[in-house]
């Protein structure tokens, strides 16, 4: 009985050691994947920055324009909304 308990404990220790090795290997793999970051050109960086900025600005423009949706003709409202998007695109780039 004592031998069976010792074997079980040894098996648990082996399993724990294997799990620790697997976790260490996974950490190393994540480090390698982070290290191989894509290098962007300045134009790509600026394009990504503009894209993120437009993503932030557009909902604000739509929300602020929504206040006037009821008081304006639908066509006028849409033309103003499109115009404001063009302006935000122009200022973002």
What pLDDT sits at residue 20? 82
What pLDDT sits at residue 37? 67
Residue by residue, pLDDT tens for the chain (93 residues) are 677 777 778 778 877 778 888 888 888 888 777 666 678 899 999 989 988 888 888 888 778 878 877 787 888 888 877 877 777 666 555
Same domain (yes/no): 13, 33: yes
Question: Maximum distance among all alpha carbons in the chain?
Answer: 88
Same domain (yes/no): 45, 28: no
Same domain (yes/no): 2, 46: no
Same domain (yes/no): 47, 28: no
Q: Are 81 and 65 in contact (CB under 8 A)?
A: yes
What pLDDT sits at residue 90? 62
Structural domain range at position 23: 1-37
What pLDDT sits at residue 11? 79
């Amino acid at each position: 009985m004592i031998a069976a308990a010792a074997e079980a404990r040894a098996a648990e220790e082996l399993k724990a050691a294997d799990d620790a090795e697997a976790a260490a290997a996974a950490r190393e793999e994540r480090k390698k994947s982070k290290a191989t970051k894509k290098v962007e050109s300045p134009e790509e960086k600026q394009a990504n920055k503009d894209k993120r900025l437009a993503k932030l600005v557009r909902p604000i423009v739509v929300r602020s324009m929504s206040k006037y949706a009821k008081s304006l003709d639908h066509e006028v409202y849409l033309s103003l909304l499109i115009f404001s998007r063009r302006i935000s695109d122009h200022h973002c780039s």
